[in-house]
Structure 1
């Protein structure tokens, strides 16, 4: 005996809804970091690709900041990896709180983060980077009775027509290392 047509359609719609929910969950897992509530490298590169397209289409300046958390290995060695993870989560929350809701903060891997600043000229991007450096350095990160100093190094680059996400990140990463060497 076959099911009535309406029952079969309802069953298939339910199955489609389950599959769509599963696809959305797989997309989230593929594009979001498992430790910090941010896009992972793949998710950030996807946002950066869209940002480059907006720069090309509308001519609005945008920038990328490459953020490196200084001394995470030392925190891990002295206080354990759980404390290092807490430091990463803490810095990620500060970076998000220090940005506009239209900007994208992502974890690129390890102790590195990327920030896509839409509609930001070079001066405002440099000011944002300096503000974030001061914010992280001024924040107290406590482990029991001890306070662990945190700091970040930030490199900045403007997005240019013809850029690829990899090219933009490489320039921002190089700017961050130049800043570390000069400091």
Structure 2
């Protein structure tokens, strides 16, 4: 005798469970795809298309983290601005592709000279920036001097023509109580001093 409620067979119940399991699997796959796409977009947003280094946006995020760490724990760290000399002349004399080749060459050279824990970024034009985490001031200055020497000693090969590139490097320690703007301003001032020799 029926009480008015529809009867669900065990077969129908099993089919509903299978359908829900399939829908759940599809949702999980869609979510996984969306996360992968989001990661890819994040990498594109944080990367420099020419050199494959981090860009200014990613650099500022990391600098903010390191400045906060220095403020909380007094961890030694430093920031370097690296300004290439002569890139404009390379562009004018040999074309923009040659200038791009010089930027790529310098980026690869720098990556080969720093620690895996350091963060190197191209922050615009012929400007690079470097964060040296867990490094004191004197060691940071020595690193800056070494990088400048190595860049000068490693000319760019433009199809058989070798062109030297020089770099002016401004070094500053990241001190407890610093803001991101203060660190960047000091590094910029020290780079200007390196450029003028004062």
| TM-score of the aligned structures, taking structure 2 as reference length | 0.88
- Does structure 1 residue 31 correspond to structure 2 residue 40? no
CA distance in 2, matches of 1:99, 1:88: 17
> Of residues 126, 139, 148 in structure 1, which corresponds to 2:141?
126
Structure 1 Cα separation of the partners of residues 123 and 39 of structure 2: 21
**Which protein has the larger Cα radius of gyration, Structure 1 or Structure 2?**
2
* 1:85 and 2:100 matched: yes
Q: 1:116 aligns with which of 111, 126, 131?
A: 131
**1:6 and 2:17 correspond:** no
- How many angstroms apart in 2 are the aligned matches of 1:24 and 1:59? 32
Return 5+ residue gaps in structure 1 as ranges: none
* 3-state DSSP of counterpart to 1:115: strand
- Aligned position for 1:156: 171
Q: Displacement, 1:133?
A: 0.5
Aligned partner (choices 62, 85, 91) of residue 70 of structure 1: 85
Q: Could you tell me how far 1:94 is from its partner in structure 2?
A: 1.1
Q: Partner of 2:32 in structure 1?
A: 17
Could you tell me how far 1:164 is from its partner in structure 2?
2.4
Name the stretch that deviates more: 54-63 or 73-82. 54-63
* DSSP 3-state at the match of 2:59: helix
Q: 2:116 aligns with which of 101, 107, 120?
A: 101
Contact 2:53 2:120 in 1 (8 A): yes
C-alpha contact (below 8 Å) 2:71/2:178 kept by paired residues: no
Structure 2 distance, partners of 1:43, 1:166, is 15
